[in-house]
Amino acid sequence: MTIKHVAMALAWLTVASSAGASVDTESVRRGAYLARVSDCIACHSTENGKPNAGGLAMDTPVGKIYSTNITPDKETGIGNYRYEEFARALRDGVAREGHTLYPAMPYPSFAKINDRDMHDLYAYFMNGVEPVRQPNRDSDIVWPLSMRWPLTLWRWLFHDASPYQPVANQSTQWNRGAYLVQGMAHCGTCHTPRGVGFQEVALSEKASGYLTGNNLEGWFAGNLTADPREGLGSWSADDLVEYLQNGRNRYTAAFGPMAEVVHFSTQHVSRDDLAAMAVYIKSLPAAGAAQVAPVRTGAALFFENCATCHQAKGEGHDSVVPALAGSSAVMARDPASLIRIVLEGGINARTRHQAWEYSMPGYAGQLNDKEVADVLTYMRQSWGNVASEVTAGDVAKVRAALPKVAGK
């Protein structure tokens, strides 16, 4: 929390106390910290607007919605909310007036917040936040998609209101981290894939897909599991703490929405809590990474399939295996014959003068059109050879004219 916001909170506390209100200042202090963990200010403030007064535009599949005023203003904010109504809004996604909130509000995560923390958050928002008179803005979603009753069905289908339950065989630190990551920090809101109903496919490590990455509003929130390629497999817990605290570490720097999370939230979170979050996240097994076939370049394909006979520099074996380097056949203006011999294979001419004959296997069933094109382009442009590249289209045309054999 910045010095500016601390001063603002203390000033409002002074006003509230002078008006005769009974304020638990310690509860407000804890609530201010928890509001930072929850990153409320980031979504409920605009760039040039008053903190927590709402109005931030958020894209949804059906149109823009705007965050609401969560200051204690009694006319336009949440000043008339009783604790039970406040807790219901955060945990169940139901406003004081009875309508269901859009799931852009991370109430599936906030449902895990325990009673003490919820009371502290309420104390802060009612007594530590400056009230701002700013009416809420209607969404840009057109009727009938703007009707709220389907959201009640959404909650019935996808919302789990169960609070966080500590895992008995895990450490206190791990449970603290799980509680924060799954709950107030609501990491899954951005980093977990969404289903057909725009619901998070998992809300904890107990279900597959949790924190495996998600595309949201034009950004990809990365895979936080231990996957070594696209996840955090190479990071230590200390690396993760450094990243959340400073916005950078030896591997990367925060950008886009994550830079805002660091700015508004994680840089203000205690090192103990960041360490707990890191311990929990680092315990997640590798998951979610896309299966990517190894990239095989023309050179790699040549050494894998051709170099044994034609040798590494394409020199072949005198009078037995044809040389590729300097070969007019390899550098022919039209590569059709070259393509066909790779696809179909071939055998040397049989003569009475040569007792030994050499045959080459066909690769129509092993290499696809692009791979054939890549390896032939490599041959035509290596070892001093100069010729045009071969395209996958060139290969496809020749393949289509072959006798019907198994092939790709």
Q: List the chain pLDDT tens, one digit each, 408 residues.
A: 454 454 445 444 444 444 445 789 999 999 999 999 999 999 999 988 999 999 898 877 777 889 999 999 999 999 999 999 999 999 999 999 998 888 889 999 999 999 999 999 999 999 999 999 999 888 877 777 677 777 888 888 899 989 999 999 999 999 999 999 999 999 999 999 999 888 999 999 999 999 999 988 778 999 999 999 889 999 999 999 999 999 999 999 999 999 999 999 999 999 999 999 999 999 999 998 877 666 678 888 988 889 888 989 988 887 678 889 988 888 988 999 899 989 988 877 766 666 666 788 899 888 999 999 999 999 999 999 999 999 999 999 999 988 764 444
DSSP 8-state class, residue 267:
G
DSSP 8-state class, residue 111:
T
Burial 240-257 (b: 16+ CB within 10 A, else e): bbbbbbebebeeeebeee
Structure-block tokens of residue 88 = 């219901």
Strands 214-216 and 219-221 turn out to be: antiparallel
Q: Pick from 53, 64, 79: which is nearest to 135 by CA?
A: 53
pLDDT score of 221: 93
Q: CA dist 276 to 178, 223, 258, 340, Å?
A: 8, 19, 19, 61
Answer whether 72's CB lies under 8 Å from 80's CB.
no
What are the residues whose beta carbons fall under 8 Å from the beta carbon of 405, sequence distance 6 or more?
Answer: 344, 362, 364, 365
> CA-based angle 87:89:94, to the nearest 5?
135
Q: Pick from 159, 148, 153: which is nearest to 90 by CA?
A: 159
Answer whether 344's CB lies under 8 Å from 328's CB.
no
Fold of domain 298-401:
Cytochrome Bc1 Complex; Chain D, domain 2 (1.10.760)
Structure-block tokens of residue 233 = 């497999």
Q: Pick from 359, 343, 348: which is nearest to 404 by CA?
A: 343
Report the distance separating Cα 396 and Cα 383, nearest Å: 26
Task: Give how far the C-alpha of residue 254 lies from the chain's centroid of Cα atoms, to the nearest Å.
Answer: 13
Reported as half-sphere exposure (CB side, CA atoms, 13 A), residue 408 has a value of 14
Structure-block tokens of residue 195 = 């289903």
Task: Give how far the C-alpha of residue 34 lies from the chain's centroid of Cα atoms, to the nearest Å.
Answer: 25
